[in-house]
Amino acid sequence: MQKIVSSPELVEDVAQKDFVQMRRAVVEFLKPEALQHFVPIMDSMAKEHLETEWSPYREVKVFPLSKKYAFALACRFFLSVTNHNHVTKFADHFAIIIRGLLSVPINIPGTTFNRAIRAGKVVRQEILEVIKQRKKELSENDGTVARDFLTHSLLELDENGKAINEMMIASRIMSLLIAGHDTTNSAITFVLKYLAEFPHVYSEVFKEQMEIAISKGPNDLLNWDDIKKMKYSWNVVLESMRLTPPTQGTFREVVNDFTYTNFTIPKGWKTFWTPYSTHKNPKYFQDPEKFNPSRFEGNGPEPYTFVPFGGGPRMCPGREYARLEILVFMHNVVTRFKWEKAILDEKLSFYVSPIPVNGLPIYLKPHSHK
């Protein structure tokens, strides 16, 4: 007898297949070997950003500027959108979407949730227009077609050998842009915060980055081999993310009953995990409030105790992209400037990511070397 599948079951099954297919495509595109060629582009964009947005000023606010850089980089990487006005339009709508993520879900005109939904529709339509133009370029066999995530998705076939529909691709790209909207620039912001607070750490990072800079020709851009030399700098980033994780955690659904500290958690319940539960636990990190990058030398922390990108099979697929983005930006800003915090005891606010309430204003001190 044939089983009759109810509508909710069918919808859930389709949604799960779509999610698995999307994650597989993202993981494939964001593999380290696939990202290597993007390092010089990141370096070029970081240089241009610092030259136009930082160098002309004595004081800057790190968080809004790092957000501007990170979002422009994401638009370039996933969509090959480089027009300043186009990127700014995207960014304005995404800011509205992010504000609606954790808002009360009341969909009536004037609410944060309603504004986020309307902004999401605008962004999705903009992405669909980019998709339409890219499909035209591909059909004309244009040799200059960008080899970005959009092109990768348009050339991909599903399990039945058919092309992925445009709405699914637009949703993929929106998910990627939302996922990295505040997290990576939050990580960059707090790296710079800690480098201002610990001059001896800044000195070691500066030394490592200058060795790389000196080895390059005047017009040479960073490459994959340069990234591999940034070992101490990456330990600094890891320690920064341990003390101030770029995300507060996320929800997961319990797939089997389990017991934790004498509490039974039933299958089907939603749980919320947070990195703070282990990141500042003295059982796993000695003297947990101390900023100490050396704790990541050698084998580093025990498995599943350091989780800024999550853990297990659902670990963030963009972690390598984030690593490259942070290190490239770090290289450029450290070799150009030293800085001091303008507000010594600036408070933090916590939403999707931790954010300094005043945007981390700093006083820049350009280096005298060329």
Sign, Cα dihedral of 240, 288, 292, 58: positive
The DSSP call for residue 222 is: P
Nearest Cα residue to 107 out of 96, 116, 99: 116
- Tell me the three state secondary structure of residue 133: helix
Contact predicate 65/53, CB 8 Å = yes
- In whole angstroms, what is the distance from residue 184 CA to residue 189 CA? 9
Residues whose CB is less than 8 angstroms from the CB of residue 143 and which lie 6 or more positions away in sequence, other chains included: none
Tokens of 164: 């992925």
Helix 319-336 with 231-243: angle, nearest 10 deg: 110
Say whether 316 counts as a known binding-site residue. Answer: yes
In angstroms, the CA 238 to CA 303 distance is 14
- CA dist 328 and 356 (Å) reads 22
Q: Name the β-bridge partners of 259.
A: 264
Annotated binding site: 316
Annotated binding site for heme: 316
